[in-house]
């Protein structure tokens, strides 16, 4: 699986991202092992800490990641 990165800003000004997460992000969110593999929908919080994110969902597949990105208007 290639690592694609889709992002954009919602109407309310929240930055949304669909992408794989790093090992550091997974550890910060208490996600272990194979559960950290794949695509996730997350929002970036308004801090300078790159690990300060709120994971909203794990996306089922690469195809689902692209479809969700299209629905949300992410590029």
* Number of domains making up the chain: 1
pTM of the model: 0.88
pLDDT tens digit sequence for 12-50: 888 999 999 999 999 999 999 999 999 999 999 877 788
Cα separation, 3 vs 47, whole angstroms: 24
Asked if residues 63 and 1 have their Cβ atoms less than 8 Å apart, the reply is no
Asked, for residue 66, whether it belongs to a domain, the answer is: yes
Whether residue 1 lies inside any domain: the answer is no
Torsions phi, psi for 69 (to 5 deg): -60, -40
User: Is residue 69 pLDDT above 60, yes or no?
Assistant: yes
Domain that holds residue 22: 6-72
For residue 67, being part of any structural domain is answered with yes
Question: Is 18 contained in some domain?
Answer: yes
- Using only the alpha carbons of the chain, give its radius of gyration: 12
């Amino acid at each position: 699986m290639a690592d694609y990165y889709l992002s954009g800003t919602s109407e309310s000004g929240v930055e949304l991202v669909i992408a794989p997460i790093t090992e550091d992000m997974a550890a910060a969110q208490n996600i272990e092992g194979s559960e950290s593999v794949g695509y996730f929908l997350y929002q970036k919080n308004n801090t300078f800490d790159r690990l300060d994110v709120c994971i909203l969902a794990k996306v089922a597949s690469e195809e689902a990641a692209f479809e969700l990105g299209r629905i949300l208007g992410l590029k």
